[in-house]
Every structure is written in C-alpha cells, then in structure tokens.
Amino acid sequence: MARTRKIRLQNIISLLSIRLFTWLNEDSCHFIEFAEYHLGQLKAKIAKLRTQLLEPPKGSSGAGEGFEVTKYGHGRVALIGFPSVGKSTLLTMLTGTHSEAASYEFTTLTCIPGIIHYNDAKIQLLDLPGIIEGASEGKGRGRQVIAVSKSSDIVLMVLDASKFPCFVCKLIMQYLQSEGHRQILTRELEAVGLRLNKRPPQIYFKKKKTGGISFNSTVPLTHVDEKLCYQILHEYKIHNAEVLFREDATVDDLIDVIEGNRKYMKCIYVYNKIDVVGIDDVDRLARQPNSVVISCNLKLNLDRLLARMWEEMGLVRVYSKPQGQQPDFTDPFVLSADRGGCTVEDFCNHIHKSIVKDVKYVLVWGASARHYPQHCGLGHLLQDEDVVQIVKKKEKEDGGRGRFKSHSTAPARISDREKKAPLKT
C-alpha cells in the first residue's frame, strides 16, 4: 500500500510539473494574468504533494540505519557531492583521518568523521557517501546522506573541475536543456527543504482560529497580490491567518514560509582537480560567487579553503581573564551566531548558567571595545579574539558595617524564640 501511494504521488507530481512547464512556455498575452494565479496554485500543489511524499508511511517500523554521528567540536561541516570527486582525499588532507579512496565509485559507504584543528578551534568534518540524481526520493540512500547534511553548520559541495563545461559546451548544454552536477545537487537538496546561500524571506505568517485572512505589506509587491495569496492559503486549507510581507517576495518564498520546514544553510562550492584543466577555466571558476578551487593531488589552495570555511561559519573566540591574573590564551570559548549567539550573556551561559544573575559588569579588551578596558553589560556584542573579565556583585551586609552595624541576632518573631527549660524546684 505504501509503495502504491508513493507511485501515485509521483505520477501526480509529474503531471503537475508537465502542466506547469506548459504554462511557463505559454506565449499568449491574453492569459498572462490568469496564468500567474494558475502557476501559483500549481506550485502550491506540487510543494504539498512533495511534502507528503517525503513523509514516512504510517505504521512503519522506522527509517532504518542512518549515517548520523555524535556532534563534536565547535562546528560541523558536511562534504557532499557525486561519487569520485575527491571527498575522501580532502578529508584525509584536512584532518589526517584515513578515509579509503580508490578509482572506482562509491568507495565510501558510511559517514566518516574527522577533526580540523584550526585557529584554536575544533571543527568536525564529515565525509558522506556520494549521492546520485534522485537522492531526494531515496535512491542510493540519498535521504540519509541529506539528513546528516541538515544537521551541519555549512555544506561543502565538492565538484569535479574537469567535468565543468566550458563556455561553448555550456551553450550547447543549455540548448539541449541538460544540467551540470552543481545544478543537480542543488535541485536534490532543495527538494527536501534545504536552501543554499539564501536567507529566510521577510514574511510574517501566523495561523489564527477565527477572523479570516489578514493580508498586508510594507513594500510594493510585484510577484504576489492578495488574491493569489488567498488561493495559495486555500490550497493548504488555511482560512484564518495573518500574512505580512516585509519585502517583495515571490510565490516560492510564500510557500516556503507556509510549509515551515525549510532550512537555510551556507554552502561553499569546492572545485577539485584544477590541475587537469587550463588556467582560464580555473580563473573563471574561482571568480564565481561562493566558490573555491583546490587540488588534493598537488595540495593547492587548501589554506584558502580553511580560511573561507572559518569566515562562513562565523566563529568567535573569546578568552577569559581572571581578576588580577593574565588572560588564558590556551583554551578559548568559541561562540557562534548560529549556536546561541555572541553576546556577553551568551558567553556567561557558555561558562555556567548561574553566572548571569551574579554579574555586575564585565571588562572587555579587543576589537569590540572602544577603549581598553570598556565596561559593558550583558547585551554587548563580542568579536573574535576578545578578552573578557567578569566582575560579580558583592554580597550585601544587612544594617551597615563596624560600629554602625545595627543587625541583631534576636529572632524577629516571639514565636521563634527558644523556650528555656523550666526551673527545677
């Protein structure tokens, strides 16, 4: 029954995709306004059916054995890509952990973790099995691989530079409507809710019990209007909600907000094997956004890859300074905006959660301080390699000090007095 339901959903998605492609190639200007609403409804139906397709069947015993490993270190990076692009070799080069590499595909069959020691921080690097086209539908255990990628901080998409098309070949491929490895991987990740190098859309959405649909916007909208928003919400059987657009978002952005299960991650496109291509192709690949060119065979540009990885992760090292002593530069506290935050309060919670209530103020040395030292509160935003000294509140003494002390040890109530033993007669 589950297999029949899956095949039926796949057939419905295929028919809707064909219908959507037909409407996109419609040249008639008479139906442009109607086509926009129709396209919005089709996109909502496809997104809803894909979500149902990804859900496990009811009554299933489980998803089986996965590739998940225990989190370790101050950050996690996942290597994802097609088979035989150099993921295992890159893991061995950066971490020293041996990962079997061979000239045939699917050498790596499970998740192999390694630790990168960089800038006094520990970054966990995961070598995942290669995925193929159709991984979002479960081919080649692609769902397990993508599930581990969702738990990482950033994704390194390893690509083969020798298979990247040149300018003339790219025109021919576009003419034949074919796609490269980068587009295929991006499409597979987006099919399961991963959005690479994108930020969440500025759309406020909240379901209500009554009151109908409230539609507002703070900017002029060119892609979505009130009528189209109503039709998409009705497709999800939502009749009472509040929607506020803070930017000129598209229909896909609105669907992502309604679904609510999208994850926005940073991705670095790593082009390996640049030693087998020409210098013009290397220059063209290196100038693309979010791209780094390397060669594991000749150990070229690996330091630039580590620096770019550190920059994208946004890790902040903070050193502690005990009162009256020198700062401890051996073991920093590593903070991140994605993992809790980078304020003084987050730094105190990183040490122990009970410290925040005892903090009077902190002294900060570093790039975030205007002068040395600067008195700061809990909301001060720390930067990399700052030095922080915590000053705690002093315990209050009741009734003053010395001869002015008026505190008495007598009980406050008569009932609390100790009763004396009766006199012996």
Is residue 67, in this structure, part of any structural domain at all? no
253 and 131 housed in the same domain? no
Dihedral, 216, 220, 224, 229 alpha carbons, nearest 10: 10
Q: Output DSSP code: residue 224.
A: -
Highest mean pLDDT among 91-95, 257-261, 363-367: 363-367
pLDDT at residue 316 tops 50: yes
Res 178 pLDDT > 50: no
Beta strands 203-207 and 241-245 are: antiparallel
CA atoms of 382 and 368, how far apart (whole Å)? 6
Within-domain flag for 411: no
Domain-located, residue 209: yes
What CATH code is carried by the domain that includes residue 349?
Answer: 3.10.20.30
- Please answer whether residues 194 and 131 qualify as being in contact, where contact means their C-beta atoms are separated by less than 8 angstroms: no
Same domain, 355 and 248: no
Of 61-65, 236-240, 258-262, 400-404, minimum mean pLDDT range: 61-65
Do 85 and 186 share a domain, yes or no? yes
Q: Tell me if 362 is assigned to some domain.
A: yes
The pLDDT tens digits for 35-61 are 566 677 677 777 766 666 555 555 544
- CA trace torsion 196, 152, 6, 185 (10° rounding): 40
Tally the domains of the chain.
4
> Distance between CA atoms of 299 and 278, rounded to whole angstroms?
17
Of 113-127, 361-375, 396-410, give the lowest mean pLDDT range: 396-410
Which neighbouring-strand residues pair with 217?
Answer: 245
Site of tokens 């890859």: 305
pLDDT, tens digit (0-9, with 9 covering 90-100), for 79-125 = 988 888 888 889 888 988 877 665 555 666 678 888 999 988 999 99
Q: Flag whether pLDDT at 23 surpasses 60.
A: no
- Which of 176-180, 189-193, 339-343 is predicted least confidently? 176-180
Q: Compute the average pLDDT of residues 293-306.
A: 91
Residue 183 sits in the same domain as residue 212: no
- Any idea which of 87-101, 134-148, 323-337 has the lowest mean pLDDT? 134-148
Averaged pLDDT, 395-412: 60
305 assigned to some structural domain: yes
**218 and 191 in a common domain:** no
Dist. CA 297–CA 299, nearest whole Å: 6
What's the domain range around 79?
75-197+263-311
